[in-house]
């Protein structure tokens, strides 16, 4: 039986062991020979190994010090290893990689923070390929009436696609839930000048999901209820619409009207 390093709960570690899933991740990433790739949390290096075979220029960021030496022994100078916390490393440290692709079987507990960090920066990757909790992937790629703030953030910055489910038995030890592969291709859309402004309005919109949107928006505008309802009707929405029923384009239209 294959011996795996002991997992650490504090790092949210589960080793990916399914060869088909590993190949699917690399295939979905679209990484080609000579591409710059950043991998977060390489763990035992199973995805890294496939990327090395392609001939990519790979930088990995690993938080668990106990995994650094085994990765060095396995790959030597074929990869660049950074020991550190991806959430604390400055994005400017990756600016020399541009253009680059981001790949990771990400620990579930840092998903939202990592997505936010890499989507909103000027040093963003061209494409992100992640293995995440299946339920989170469904939230990322959601459409009305099942939108959430996470789907708005991801979809305003990128084209999101769920590739396939990765069953829980693809990992060791086996987690309690299935995972899925998701790709996010970054959009260079200059028509939306203030994406963060749109997101901040969406954040207010989602602040009380049970309330109709016009009630939530009252707190950020001097407009009265009647005027907000008219604004919503003016962009072909119901005055009773709720936040989860809006597309990203509709959030952009609301932001343009309110700012």
For 186-214, how does the pLDDT look when each residue is reduced to its tens digit (9 = 90+)? 998 666 668 999 999 999 999 988 899 99
Tell me the residue range of the domain where 230 lies.
195-258
Structural domain count of the chain: 2
210 and 83 together in one domain: no
> Of 147, 168, 186, which residue sits at a domain end?
186
210 and 170 together in one domain: no
**Burial zone of 181 (CB within 10 Å; 0-12 exposed, 13-18 middle, 19+ buried):** buried
103 and 172 together in one domain: yes
60 and 105 together in one domain: yes
244 and 182 together in one domain: no
For 168-193, how does the pLDDT look when each residue is reduced to its tens digit (9 = 90+)? 888 766 678 899 999 999 998 666 66
* pLDDT reading at 250 higher than 80: yes
* pLDDT reading at 4 higher than 70: no
14 and 111 together in one domain: yes
182 and 215 together in one domain: no
* pLDDT reading at 10 higher than 80: no
* pLDDT reading at 114 higher than 70: yes
> Is the residue at 2 inside a domain?
no
Percentage of the chain modeled with pLDDT above 90: 72
For 37-46, how does the pLDDT look when each residue is reduced to its tens digit (9 = 90+)? 999 999 889 9
pLDDT interval class at 222 (50, 70, 90): confident
* pLDDT reading at 1 higher than 50: no
120 and 240 together in one domain: no
199 and 182 together in one domain: no
Cβ density class 112-147: b for 16+ within 10 Å, e for less: bebbbbbbeeebbbebbbbbbbbebbbbbbbeeeeb
144 and 20 together in one domain: yes
**Residue 8, pLDDT score:** 47
What is the Cα–Cα distance from 92 to 100, expressed in whole angstroms?
13
236: CATH: 1.10.8.100
CB 183 within 8 A of CB 163: yes
Name 28's Cβ contacts closer than 8 Å, sequence gap at least 6: 129, 163, 181, 183
Q: Is the pTM of this model over 0.75?
A: yes
**Residue 144, pLDDT score:** 96
């Amino acid at each position: 039986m294959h011996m795996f390093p002991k997992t650490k709960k504090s790092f949210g570690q589960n080793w990916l062991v399914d060869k088909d899933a590993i190949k699917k991740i690399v295939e979905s990433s679209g990484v080609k020979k000579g591409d710059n790739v950043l991998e977060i949390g390489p763990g035992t290096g199973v995805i890294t190994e496939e990327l090395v075979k392609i001939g990519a220029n790979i930088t990995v960021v690993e938080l668990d010090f106990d995994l650094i030496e085994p990765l060095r022994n396995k790959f030597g100078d074929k990869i660049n290893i950074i020991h550190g916390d991806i959430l604390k490393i400055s994005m400017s440290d990756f600016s020399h990689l541009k253009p680059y692709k981001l790949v990771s079987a990400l620990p579930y507990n840092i998903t939202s923070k990592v997505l936010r960090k890499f989507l909103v920066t000027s040093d963003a990757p061209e494409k992100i390929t992640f293995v995440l909790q299946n339920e989170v992937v469904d939230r990322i790629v959601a459409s009305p009436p099942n939108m959430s703030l996470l789907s708005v953030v991801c979809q305003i910055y990128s084209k999101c696609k769920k590739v396939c489910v990765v069953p829980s038995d693809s990992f060791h030890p086996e987690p309690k839930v299935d995972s899925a592969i998701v790709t996010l291709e970054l959009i260079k859309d200059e028509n939306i000048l203030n994406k963060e402004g749109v997101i901040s309005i969406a954040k207010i919109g989602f602040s009380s999901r049970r309330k109709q949107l016009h009630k939530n928006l009252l707190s950020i505008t001097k407009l009265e209820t009647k005027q907000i309802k008219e604004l919503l009707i003016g962009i072909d929405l119901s005055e009773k619409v709720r936040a989860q029923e809006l597309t990203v384009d509709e959030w952009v239209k609301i932001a343009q009207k309110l700012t």
